[in-house]
Structure 1
């Protein structure tokens, strides 16, 4: 399943419509990153650049301008090189940038600074995000200086600079039908990986072996890479929110928190399940797990157009605080404990985040100091958790070292919401039934 160029053309048309007349936008692609010596990390394109171009090669820059009524898309990229192709594979070159990626014109990346003077002359506005690419920043400053010198002889330079994020990140927040299809596929691949983990987990496995099992199952479904560094955290490791070492042995009496998601066509899934290594929850584990599940289920039921973002966190804190009181982990009145943020030693993150090309996707949560309201075609995670430190001497020993998070991917629809990962079991009954078969 591929994203057709028509989708990127559609996005560029919208982007042009948001740009001011006589303006230029510059979006840089990602560069290759050295791992060690002459060995490189696997290349992953910059999400903003990919969103508008679909172009997968490193060291490219896209320029968009509205000097005419239709707008023009110019792509600067590596030239085709027989020597590099012999070692690294084919590059599309400038001809391919036009024929395959539908650029209006294309030039070698080496000519970017020279051409930029011509492009920026006469423009009134520039859309560009500084500090993301310091080399490109310096090229722009040199170009400004050249234009300023020419301006004394009649040249013009952009009179106002805006961050390109202002336009692009609002666009990316609302998913198209194509994007929803890709994210649904990423979600289903992720579900298959978690289902496989539920079937193979047993005492004595290493955390990294669980990761390897999931990588195999998900790759067989079409995953090329994880959406983020996998978390397979058993025992008290689950109380470290972004534990990625994955080097402990699974013990029979422990839970294992698995936060693993697939990337498909650059789109992320982000899913967490917490499982009993033995296949059966202990009474204390079950109590904490079901409290977290109650909070997650309540939030998912709330999701609909018009819901303010902070209402989800308020609901989670309300349910978790009351539950912690009932279990004896907190003492006092619920309202007072909420005011004092007494939940923070046990639950210290938000109820979720935007999801898309990035795992923690772009898009503002507040607009003019007011919490954003959900709208159709937004995609978010819902992921409450409880983490009871193994060193917490204020709670009974049976609770210490228990870490639970439950996370699903949710699409906001016209009528309410759709859980993209709903096929993955989340109740104690269903998880135990699957793990013990």
Structure 2
């Protein structure tokens, strides 16, 4: 099949080639060159999977697993609708982060950038601008150009031509030329929406390509001029917090795979936290996820008192509980699950009582459950035993849409965790037989109009089901 018939984009699909050694795609675009020669899409290289090269990962029309090019375009339209006339929104991709020398960490794309573009490469900037009429918008995408020498070392790049023809940019350019182009774009805008100038962001790509290796946020502020930049994150949070059916489908997929991994882990007898950690990561992938959503917790005994304990380097004792918090990631969306079970496979009386108390409750009922087990629940003791929130938003991030209000009324499409827990320090205030126990039970849930949709049902949690896995 020819490329013009198979690319994922619903809009422009033709690639142009001038010769065996073509001019840059920018030159071809400016010259309006469109040669009749075609090439199979499967024979081209891109910086990420497309349907033609990876049909086992992407269905026709999808830019990323489960999300179509049309849905990405609709997201940009929804963003533009929230902007004033002649305003622009600037979002930068993440950079590659190096752990030492030339050894890098696994690349993780900036969620806002990925949400708007579907483009999963570093060193890129997207600009969405609303026109003067208020009825249309322009999508500009600046990316790394194809470079044979660089791609030999770092892998394929998609390049500017794919930015137009696959990712539907109205205008595409080489990221190295951004510093020459951006001042004019900014100068024509009435408002600039961006988080580049905010101290809590790590979007250095735009700064680096404007100012070099040691950028300063003040320099970007000078480029914007007398207009104070408007924070983009609240606008993006409003867009991202309500999930589409496709997004919920991806989270259900991740939840199913992650839940099966947790249940599989409960079937085995473990002697070391690190072995359990490694098994869980492996099973996420075996069951269909791309990677782990975050560093798993595999905390035996008192280690579970640390909410985000991730050292996972201790020995597991048969008379203790193990608290496991982990989830997989698929198509850019995550699952978040915590399960607690006895290392021996069978709950002691005290473990059973504390576990059942957590399984029974919501936050307002926890104090009463613990009081019945002999805990002194006077004063603010509940804050010691249950120090974290009952829930958080989930989606592309484990703690999704950072800064979005927890007081918002949940509506259809919100996706959250439900995670009651009890953490009993080794303190004379608490009944002796519960000390150093930690229990957390966490599931991922999508809010529907009539009832919640549990995304992680494959992870068993009833005592009888947990104990039966070893029999």
Normalised to the residue count of structure 2, the TM-score between the two structures is: 0.80
**Which of 383, 391, 411 is equivalent to 1:344?**
383
Partners of 1:270 and 1:14 in 2: CA distance = 28
2:27 aligned residue: none
Partner of 2:6: none
Size of the aligned set, in residue pairs, is 394
Q: Which residue of 2 aligns with 1:321?
A: 367
- The structure 2 residue matched to 1:392, chosen from 388, 411, 427, is 427
- For residues 180-329 of structure 1, what are the structure 2 equivalents within 5 Å? 180-202=248-270, 205-295=271-361, 299=362, 316=363, 318-329=364-375
- The correspondence for 1:402, drawn from 420, 431, 437, is 437
C-alpha offsets along residues 172-208 of structure 1, whole Å, 9 cap, x if unaligned?
0000111011111110110111011011234xx2111
Partner of residue 114, structure 1? 180
Name the CA distance, whole Å, in 1 between partners of 2:285 and 2:153. Answer: 25
- Match of 2:384, SS state, is coil
Select the residue among 98, 101, 112 that pairs with 1:34.
Answer: 98
Q: Does 1:47 align with 2:47?
A: no
In 1, the alpha carbon distance for the partners of 2:432 and 2:112 equals 48
> Which residue number corresponds to residue 12 of structure 1?
76
Give the whole-Å Cα distance in 2 for the aligned partners of 1:271 and 1:402: 19
The answer to whether the 8 A contact 2:94-2:205 is kept is no
The equivalent of 1:433 in structure 2 is 468
Deviation of 1:139 (Å): 7.5
In structure 2, what is the Cα distance between the partners aligned to 1:217 and 1:31?
29
Cα contact 2:284–2:291 (8 A) shared by 1: no
Instruction: Give the Cα–Cα distance (whole angstroms) in 2 for the partners of residues 20 and 254 of structure 1.
Output: 58
Shift of 1:135: 6.8
Partners of 2:223 and 2:206 in 1: how far apart?
15
**1:76 and 1:426 mapped to 2: Cα distance?**
48
Residue 414 of structure 2: aligned partner: 378
Deviation at 1:364, TM superposition (A): 4.8
Does residue 177 of structure 1 match 2:245? yes
Separation in structure 2 between the aligned mates of residue 165 and residue 147 of structure 1, nearest angstrom = 18
The 1-side partners of 2:217 and 2:276 are apart by: 47
TM-score (norm 1): 0.86
> Which deviations, in whole Å up to 9, do the C-alpha atoms of 1:248-279 show, x marking residues without a partner?
11111011000010011111110000011111
**Displacement of 1:394:** 2.1
Q: Does 1:94 align with 2:163?
A: no
Question: Aligned to 2:131, which of 67, 78, 86?
Answer: 67
The unaligned stretches of length 5 or more in structure 2 are: 1-56, 58-64, 208-214
Separation of aligned partners in 2, 1:43 and 1:57: 8
User: Cα RMSD between the aligned structures?
Assistant: 1.8
Q: CA contact under 8 A between 2:256 and 2:457: conserved in structure 1? A: no
CA distance in 2, matches of 1:393, 1:59: 55
After superposition, give the CA deviation of every residue in 1:44-74 in whole Å (9 maximum; x if it has no partner). Answer: 1000100000101101111111125320111
**Cα distance change on mapping 1:39 and 1:365 into 2, 3 Å:** closer
Give the Cα–Cα distance (whole angstroms) in 1 for the partners of residues 235 and 341 of structure 2: 41
1:100 Cα deviation after fit: 1.2
SS in structure 2 opposite 1:223? coil
What secondary structure, in the 3-state scheme, does the structure 1 residue paired with 2:383 have?
coil
Question: In structure 2, how many angstroms separate the alpha carbons of the residues matched to 1:364 and 1:135?
Answer: 23
Contact 2:192/2:224 (CA < 8 Å) preserved in 1? Answer: no
Partner residue in 2 for 1:21: 85
User: Which residue of structure 2 aligns with residue 152 of structure 1?
Assistant: none
Aligned to 2:170: 104
**Aligned-pair distance for 1:363?**
5.5
| Most deviating of 115-124 and 272-281 | 115-124
